[in-house]
Structure 1
Amino acid sequence: MSTTSPSPRLIPITADTIDAACAISVRPDQQHLVSPVVKSLAEAYVHPGVAWPRLIVDGDEPVGFVMAFLDIAWNPSKDPTDIRSGIWRLNISADHQGKGYGRFAVQAVIDELRRRGATRAYVTYDTGPGTPAPFYAGLGFHPTGELSGDQPVAELTL
């Protein structure tokens, strides 16, 4: 993987970047909160029209992984017009946390969603010790009161 830009950016997962993406690992105390990148890539493979996986790099260095979900019917049996997009997965490498890469990745996904015409962004997250809820709240996401499985849903108006 050879790049020239020194600032953080998102790049597609390709044959050249897959090993770097799979090597991204969060801190041990966070592993119960987020699935590993390899699971995200498997989900992206089986949901190719929905998943938008990207490696977060700074210069030549992989620092994280983000995957958005795009234009899914949230609850088609109740309201097939309730189409949503947002953050599906965010993994920042343990060595690179606290440096703004998570905020950068969320903003980059939001920019992509706006480009695609979205007016809201959504995220779900695990609760309990170490929950990322305060991180997302600090970015302007507000709980909707809904659950996706056992995870709260939060929304950001774009």
Structure 2
Amino acid sequence: MTRSPRLEPVTPATVDAALALRVHPHQEKNVAPVVKSLAEAYAYGETAWPRLILDGDRLVGFLMGFLDVVWDEEKDPADRRSGLWRLNISADAQGEGYGRFAVEALAGELRRRGTGRMYVTWEPGEDGSGGFYRGLGFRTTGERSGGQVVGVLDL
């Protein structure tokens, strides 16, 4: 079967499907549900970049990027970053390359916008997604954000 994944904005016609998307139960402690992401996208406006991951008519995931955000106002207000805020791949679509596609598609969007680095955070430990992100070329920065490991990928 030929795959043709793509990213699409969340629309009134797709919001219910987005809200119904579920990851594997054992992953629920590591990634917030889509409903939280959409609330954050609304609250953070232009800095949030929510997208559905579709393959044909099949919804396979959700990602949300963050664009040009001040990372730590107290530490360095000039440190502006962009990256992957959230990635949810449907339990029935995992292991099919959609996560890799989504990260690469966001990297392409950030390059198009002139960004040189892409950041991501993940829960530490065996159940976290660190192996996935390191496999895509992210390296740890030594920083933590809310207890999560911070990774960066040079674009």
TM range (shorter): over 0.9
Match of 1:114 in 2: 111
Does residue 133 of structure 2 align to residue 136 of structure 1? yes
Greater mean alpha carbon deviation, residues 124-133 or residues 146-155 = 124-133
Where do 5+ consecutive residues of structure 2 fail to align? Answer: none
Per the alignment, in what secondary structure is the counterpart of residue 13 of structure 2? coil
Pairs within 5 Å for 1:86-97: 86-97=83-94
Equivalent residue letter for 1:72: V
SS in 2 for 1:22: helix
Q: Which runs of 5+ in 1 are unaligned?
A: 1-5
Query: How far apart are 1:78 and its partner, in Å?
Result: 2.2
Aligned twin of 2:46: 49
TM-score w.r.t. structure 2 length?
0.96
For residue 20 of structure 1, report the CA deviation from its aligned partner.
1.2
Q: CA RMSD in A?
A: 0.9
Normalised by the length of structure 1, the TM-score is: 0.94
Task: Give secondary structure in 2 for the equivalent of 1:49.
Answer: helix
In the TM superposition, 1:1-158 aligns within 5 A as: 7-158=4-155
> Which portions of structure 1, spanning 4 or more consecutive aligned residues, are displaced by more than 2 angstroms?
none
Deviates more, 1:108-117 or 1:72-81: 72-81
Following the alignment from structure 1 to structure 2, what is the Cα–Cα distance between the partners of residues 129 and 32?
13
2-side partners of 1:98 and 1:127: how far apart?
21
Per-residue CA deviation, residues 120-151 of structure 1 (Å, 9 max, x unaligned), is 00000112232100000000000000011100
Aligned residues: percent identity?
Answer: 61
